[in-house]
Amino acid sequence: MSSVVVIGAQWGDEGKGKIVDYLAQKADAVARYSGGSNAGHTVVVNDVAYKLRLLPSGILYKDKTCFLGNGVVINPRVVLQEIAGMHAKGIDTSNLHISDRAHVVLPYHEVLDGLQEVALGDRKIGTTGGGIGPCYMDKAARVGIRMCDFIDPTTFAEKLKRNLEAKNILFTKVYGAKPLDYDAMLKEYLGYADQLRPYVSDTAVALGELFAQGKNVLFEGAQATYLDIDYGTYPYVTSSNPTAGNAATGSGIGPRFIDHVIGVVKAYTTRVGEGPFVTELFDTNGPGTHLRDKGHEYGTVTGRPRRCGWLDAFMVKNSVRINSLDYIAVTRLDILDDMPTIKMCVGYEIDGKQITTIPADLKILAKAKPMYEEFQGWMTDISKMETYDELPAPAKKYLDRLSQVAGVKIGIVSVGPNRSQTIVLKDLF
| Catalytic sites, residue numbers | 13, 41
Element (H, E) at 5: strand 3-8
What phi, psi does 401 have (nearest 5°)? -70, -40
- Vertex 238 angle, CA 234 and 244, to 5°: 95
Strand-pairing partners, residue 330, are: 265, 413
Decide: 135 and 282 in contact? Cβ < 8 Å: no
Decide: 74 and 68 in contact? Cβ < 8 Å: yes
N-terminal to C-terminal alpha carbon distance within the chain: 8
Identity at 217, one-letter amino acid code: V
Identity at 154, one-letter amino acid code: T
Read out DSSP for 401-419? HHHHHHTSEEEEEE-SSBT
Instruction: Note the helical H segments in 146-234.
Output: 147-150, 153-169, 182-196, 203-212
What phi, psi does 372 have (nearest 5°)? -95, 145
Strands (E), 283-366: 307-309, 311-312, 327-331, 341-350, 353-354
Strands (E), 211-340: 217-220, 260-266, 269-271, 307-309, 311-312, 327-331
- Dihedral sign (CA 278, 282, 286, 290): positive
What are the C-alpha distances in Å from 62 to residues 33, 59, 65, 169, 227? 20, 7, 8, 46, 32
- Vertex 71 angle, CA 211 and 8, to 5°: 85
